[in-house]
Structure 1
């Protein structure tokens, strides 16, 4: 059956194909549901349960699936398995996946499954985005541009709809803006995006990519997005690793390399001229001229990483043939989700900013670079990352640092090595009271007129909060309470 499985597509006969869906989250449920629709025999396994998952399991069971949500459910791969469809967070060393490898059973992610399930008559092109940071913002910008062009488009993958749901929609999309994590790309083998972008590559998820070659393996998975690209490989001229990925990629003949830069672009690239975002890649006379896309003032933020994301989104849209006007209209209309360089308050000449989505050092460094004088709020789950490069890059901007969370000492050690004169307050030393109240009070004590207090933790949030949004909300609420108290005084 293995050779037959490797050729399965939307138009194949799935009856009799025995599929194990490993993980019953959003993508796992979508995969199981649509595989049942195609006629496959589906077994879904997960050790995490909830009321919502139990209801979904009951629904799928009425449609003929076998669903096991219990401790030990993922310990043994069923004997009669033909294919495993895994959730992206599962490591290859997980028991089910390791057993599949031992038995030469194919393992696909939801992305691979979705690519194979596209309708050959109406398949929408994919504009794909990956990178350590900025993926979601870039994909949402891209969707805004595509909608401004009058296209039926959706943001899918690591954001928005599960990709399987999008490709199986009875009303076809014109184009899909696809956010892909390294985890998703690890299990993707045949995708051929119309255009793809790698925004940046920095240390992250080294708890998943463990071992001496962890960072190399992480970058290699990111690079998979460029394989079989049809029109344009978009890369960051400020990040040599992304350029090397383009050089090494095996693309469709005729695909181009298109760089983006915060400086003046060369022919073939996108960049900035004075206060304009311009295109010198997708115009006829790119050797001697540039097409104006929008002004910096028309963007929701002029933070360097936000502008870079806008250029990447514009490059992908232009690769699809979108007009200059649609790029401008889409970027002008776009507003980022919460907890991304979000202004919380301005009070007593101090600015408070929530960038709780900065969950790794690279993201935090980008955020810090947008402000001249910062009281930095940092800490949480470091996921194996180091902070030395960040501290070296940002130390001249730091008025002070407030640390919280389980791995705060990792950051404290980097500060001690590279910025020993910067004041550091460790609120984790006092376990009484509301932690964010202590953070905000400590930050207020360090801040001076003209400073920005920036929550850009550089770490994941789950040691103290349910997610990064919860962390950001707690920070913003604590800031507002403090301002209200001092205004009343």
Structure 2
């Protein structure tokens, strides 16, 4: 750790908002640099108290049950991504003239002088897949990299770690971007823009503006979706470094300074010597898994960022071929009658299910199994606005049904009593009947699987098999 970084934080009174993964990471890092850290969280209970005890061992103060009052003497607030800008704590900070930033901003400020550049990805949908594809391509090019940010290891931990990276693939949510005013990526992509998180941002305009922050200060390329004019508008509005280029991606034939698709090939007309007359083959559509249109768009965006960093065409092909979406982890199975079916059987607890539910809307949610002592009120409260309907399966489904009755009484619920392995097929059919075009049917059970299945893999396979049977009927 350089002396400059230590001296920047020594003795500062910093309040960290939120006792989740990113909050704990930031609190530990800043305390390690000599800051006086207080973590505040409105929650309480055994889990919170256990985390608080772990923080206390590091000399970090924790205040539970009060997320609104600004601790006396605070000179900087570091927030976890989900906290709304309208939170009373932030109003108190503003009144006291105290800045509020997020963990991404802290990570950016903590970078050393020789730190790896960031290739950044945001968008309403496809962020994680694109970021992981990008990391796969960079790895195929022989570069030391990691997929971080909104996924993987907390970003502060990566920046302060001992691993020497050449370049980082960074997924950024609109929340993270809102709280990261200093971020300046090498190149960045906005994959798409649709109404999302408007309750958090306050308006579509504010949501778009926060997404657009990813382009600020880009040095080489601002990658946008040619099929989504709103993403190009964000590029036009961005204040970038001299010489930074606008690079589009399209599922059609690319124009100059674009990547696109020609006769089953992913091609580059942006990073070639003669953009007017020349196109460089990068890969085949068949190299993308799965080769669904939205995923091909993800691959093109990842390829554009890699090419902006100087990666050779063969590495794009090899990286895409090597990439595999994680089975049963937010795995898109199929689109049937304009409804997406996604398998996240790995979401065996409420925390994992909440992360999964936060990725989509509107959702028909398939949930249930063995609760393992869990309660579901917090999960349902956080996800209620996204739910079109719910199909419940498994031994402890009543616990979820009761939470839904308390916190989302308007959401239709189908309660399946059968607990044989054929129940999943019925669950998928019931979900299909609740779903409308544009919806996502999401298996994110928030429970263990052993009441009905050997493990979560078998549960996910049963879901995928039922979806494929449904697709065959619609073929």
- Give the TM-score normalised by the residue count of structure 2: 0.76
Residue in structure 2 matched with residue 330 of structure 1 by the alignment? 319
In the alignment, what sits opposite 2:96?
103
The 1:287–1:355 alpha-carbon spacing in structure 2 relative to 1, beyond 3 Å, is farther
CA distance in 1 between counterparts of 2:293 and 2:239 reads 31
- The aligned counterpart of 1:191 is 183
Alpha carbons of structure 1 residues 477 and 263: separation in structure 2 relative to 1, 3 Å = closer
> What CA distance in whole angstroms lies between the structure 1 residues aligned with 2:382 and 2:59?
40
- Tell me which residue corresponds to 2:302: 313
Checking the alignment, whether the CA contact within 8 Å between 2:148 and 2:155 is kept in structure 1 is yes
Deviations for 1:266-325, whole angstroms, at most 9, x for unmatched residues? Answer: 011100010111111111122211111111112211100000000000100111111111
Aligned-partner Cα distance in 2 for 1:444–1:49: 39
Is the 2:363–2:442 Cα contact (8 Å) retained in structure 1? no
The answer for the alignment partner of 2:13 in structure 1 is: 18
Specify whether residues 45 and 445 from structure 1 end up closer, same or farther in structure 2 by C-alpha distance, changes over 3 A only: closer
Q: Does 1:168 find its partner at 2:129?
A: no
Distance apart, 1:475 and its partner CA: 6.6
Q: CA deviation at 1:442?
A: 6.3
1:187 Cα deviation (Å)? Answer: 0.7
| Runs (5+) with no aligned partner, structure 1 | 1-7, 345-351, 365-378, 388-401, 408-412, 414-425, 448-452, 484-489
Is contact 1:157–1:180 with CA below 8 Å preserved after alignment? yes
Q: Distance in 2 between matches of 1:435 and 1:234?
A: 48
Contact 1:354 1:455 in 2 (8 A): no
User: Which residue of the partner structure matches residue 71 of structure 1?
Assistant: 65
Query: How far 1:206 sits from its partner (Å)?
Result: 2.6
1:294 aligns with 2:283: yes
1:204/1:383 contact within 8 Å kept: no
* Distance verdict in 2 for CA 1:30–1:289, change over 3 Å: same
- Answering whether residue 448 of structure 2 is matched by residue 476 of structure 1, we say no
- Residue 225 (structure 1) aligned with residue 227 (structure 2): no
Give the CA deviation at 1:104: 1.2
Distance 1:93 1:444, change over 3 A: closer
- The superposition leaves residues 237-294 of structure 1 with CA deviations (integer Å, 9 ceiling, x where unpaired) of 0001001000110111110000000000001110001011111111112221111111
Q: Which of 52, 77, 83 is matched with 2:76 structurally?
A: 83
Superposed CA RMSD? 3.9
Structure 1 residues 456 and 381: CA distance shift in structure 2, 3 A = farther
- How many matched pairs? 411
Equivalent residue, structure 2, for 1:201: 193
* Alpha-carbon spacing, 1:482–1:313, altered in 2? closer, same or farther (3 Å): closer
Instruction: Check conservation: 2:416, 2:427, Cα contact below 8 A.
Output: no
Query: What residue number does 1:360 align with?
Result: 360
CA distance in 1: counterparts of 2:329 and 2:275, whole angstroms = 38
Give 3-state SS (helix, strand or coil) of 2:200's partner: coil
User: Which ranges in structure 2 are unaligned for 5 or more consecutive residues?
Assistant: 335-339, 345-355, 365-379, 393-400, 405-409, 468-475
1:441 correspondence with 2:430: no
* Distance across 1 between alignment mates of 2:99 and 2:381: 36
CA distance in 2 between counterparts of 1:380 and 1:21 reads: 24
User: Which residues in structure 2 correspond to 1:396-415 (within 5 Å)?
Assistant: 404=391
- After superposition, the Cα gap between the structure-2 partners of 1:200 and 1:170, relative to the gap in structure 1 and judged at 3 Å, is same
Task: Supply the distance in 1 between the matched residues of 2:446 and 2:431 (Cα, whole angstroms).
Answer: 24
Task: Quote the offset at 1:435 in angstroms.
Answer: 12
C-alpha separation in 1, matches of 2:135 and 2:428: 37
Q: Is the 1:203–1:361 contact (alpha carbons within 8 Å) kept by the matching residues of 2?
A: no
Deviation at 1:19, TM superposition (A): 0.3
**Structure-2 change in CA distance of 1:90 and 1:252 (3 Å):** same
**Partner deviation per Cα, 1:170-195 (whole Å, 9 max, x = no partner):** 23211111100011111111110000
TM-score by length of 1: 0.74
Partner SS state of residue 104, structure 1: coil
Aligned mate of 1:93, from 86, 93, 98: 86
Q: Is the 8 A contact 1:381 1:460 kept in 2?
A: no
> How far, CA to CA, are the matches of 2:421 and 2:242 in structure 1?
54
- Partners of 1:311 and 1:52 in 2: how far apart? 42
Q: Counterpart of 2:198 in 1: which secondary structure?
A: coil
Q: Post-superposition shift, 1:58?
A: 3.3
Taking structure 1 as reference, are residues 227 and 276 closer, same or farther at Cα in structure 2, changes over 3 Å only? same
